[in-house]
């Protein structure tokens, strides 16, 4: 999709196409539509970052809490968003053995009990081994460190989702 086309989208189509670049936060996409026209992908991404960075800390935690657990209940029950399902599958999280599922479940619970938000990592940039290692390491961080780290990962996920959408025609979503 070229940016002339993107900048000409009405908000309905814009949110329909880009509404989940930040997981379950279509408000962010819907808000940055006000900032068009965008000079390119980096400009659109900068508008998203600006919105996220201006949120109070509770709002950043809110973004994290809209993310599913990795290899969690929503993966098992088939209720992940399409984007999350593909990303978790690509990292091999839909094919864990029972020992790996148990370890992931326990670590996710520990992490959520400690921080009050889920462990967020860009699954497409990691495999199950590095995800498990990162989870076991990051659960020991301080809360504010993890909140900032989680938001960094949200931005990585957003970057790859945006690239995937802008560099294809996504006619099926229009």
The answer to whether 67 is a known catalytic residue is yes
Identify the DSSP state of 163. H
15: contact with its own copies by CB under 8 A: yes
22 SS3 class:
coil
Task: For the CB of residue 17, give the shortest distance to its own copies in the complex, in Å.
Answer: 13
10: contact with its own copies by CB under 8 A: yes
Count of residues that bind its own copies according to CB under 8 A: 32
Is the peptide bond between 37 and the residue preceding it cis, with omega within 30 degrees of 0? Answer: yes
Task: For the CB of residue 123, give the shortest distance to its own copies in the complex, in Å.
Answer: 19
For residues 20 and 26, is the Cβ–Cβ distance under 8 A? yes
How far, rounded to the nearest angstrom, does the alpha carbon of residue 154 sit from its chain's CA centroid?
A: 5
Task: For the CB of residue 129, give the shortest distance to its own copies in the complex, in Å.
Answer: 26
For residues 124 and 87, is the Cβ–Cβ distance under 8 A? yes
Give whichever of 60 and 138 is closer to its own copies, judged by the CB atom: 60
Residues recorded for the chain: 174
Give whichever of 27 and 167 is closer to its own copies, judged by the CB atom: 27
120-159 residues in contact with its own copies (CB under 8 A) are none
Q: Which residue among the candidates 67, 124, 128, 147 is catalytic per the annotation?
A: 67
Cα–Cα nearest to 24, from 13, 32, 34, 15? 15
Cα gap 150→115, rounded to integer Å: 11
Task: For the CB of residue 161, give the shortest distance to its own copies in the complex, in Å.
Answer: 17
For residues 30 and 51, is the Cβ–Cβ distance under 8 A? no
For its own copies, the binding residue among 35, 85, 103, 156 (CB under 8 A) is 35
53-92 residues in contact with its own copies (CB under 8 A) are 54-59, 61-66
Binding site for its own copies (CB under 8 A): 10-12, 15, 24-35, 51, 54-59, 61-66, 112, 116-117
């Amino acid at each position: 999709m070229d940016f002339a086309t993107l900048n000409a989208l009405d908000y309905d189509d814009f949110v329909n196409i880009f509404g989940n670049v930040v997981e379950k936060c279509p408000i962010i996409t819907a808000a940055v539509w006000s900032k068009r026209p965008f000079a390119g992908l980096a400009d659109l991404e900068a508008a998203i970052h600006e919105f996220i960075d201006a949120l109070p800390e509770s709002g950043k935690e809110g973004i994290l809490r809209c993310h599913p657990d990795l290899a969690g209940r929503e993966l098992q029950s088939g209720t992940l968003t399409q984007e999350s399902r593909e990303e978790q599958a690509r990292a091999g999280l839909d094919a864990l053995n029972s020992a790996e599922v148990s370890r992931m479940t326990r670590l996710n619970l520990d992490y959520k009990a400690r921080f009050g938000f889920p462990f967020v990592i860009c699954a497409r940039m990691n495999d199950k081994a590095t995800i498990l290692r990162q989870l076991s390491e990051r659960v020991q961080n301080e809360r504010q460190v993890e909140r900032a780290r989680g938001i960094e990962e949200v931005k990585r996920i957003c970057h790859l989702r945006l690239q995937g959408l802008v560099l294809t025609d996504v006619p099926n979503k229009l």
